[in-house]
Amino acid sequence: MFGFGKRSGKTSADTASYSGSQPGSSSDKLYKLYAAFIRFVQFCLALAVIGIYSPYLVHAHNQHKYYDPRWMYATLVGAATGLTALVLIIITLLNRFARMSIPIHIVFLLIWDAFMALNWVIVTGIFGVMYGKEKPEGDKGIIEMKNAVWVDLAEMLLFLITIAVAASQIHRARRSAKAYDV
């Protein structure tokens, strides 16, 4: 159904790569740089999110107070994003994905990126509602949280971009796999 592995006597090496071009071509290299760049920006924003939300957790710990679950959730989503982005940068640059007519990792990444995008929608919603209409009036904490909402929104948009790219790769691979059917 999805065209994994061999299809119509053609091996996966005979078909185009997951970027829609021949392996080793200039467009394949450009795709890898694009993918690594997007993931690098996701990684940097994840570090920013951790840096913004985790001091509130440290402060609560030092005061022997409870941890606010909203800040814990945002920090956890930031850490998961950072780990995801770092692993995918390394894998992309080392070219460790197998070549198939529709690589299983693209389907997995589509699902994982959708899961992460949903988490970023939740984080953006939580802090957007809390601080979106808040008037800072010189309060640096409120100003910081209003800026954090923009970082959350940017991270969410980056995941929506990676979802669109993965969906287009799957569509392109399915279309090229159908071309080999007789």
DSSP symbols for 24-39: TSHHHHHHHHHHHHHH
Contact 169, 18 (CB under 8 A): yes
Phi, psi (rounded to 5 degrees) for 180: -85, -15
In angstroms, the CA 126 to CA 156 distance is 13
Query: Tokens at residue 99, please?
Result: 């070549």
What mean pLDDT is predicted for residues 26-42?
83
The one-letter amino acid at 128: G
- 101: pLDDT strictly greater than 90: no
Return the SS3 of 10.
Answer: strand
What mean pLDDT is predicted for residues 90-98?
71
pTM of the model: 0.78
Beta bridge partners of 7: 10
In angstroms, the CA 166 to CA 160 distance is 10
In angstroms, the CA 6 to CA 14 distance is 10
Q: Please state which of the ranges 66-80, 92-106, 159-173 shows the lowest mean pLDDT.
A: 92-106
- 125: pLDDT strictly greater than 90: yes
Radius of gyration of the chain from its Cα atoms, rounded to whole angstroms: 20
Give the rounded percent of residues in the chain with a pLDDT score beyond 90. Answer: 45
pLDDT bin (cut points 50, 70, 90) of residue 116 is very high
Contact 76, 125 (CB under 8 A): no
In angstroms, the CA 88 to CA 65 distance is 37
**Residue 70 backbone zone (phi > 0: left; psi -120 to 50: alpha; other: beta):** alpha
What mean pLDDT is predicted for residues 23-33?
70
Q: What is the pLDDT of residue 12?
A: 43
- 173: pLDDT strictly greater than 60: yes
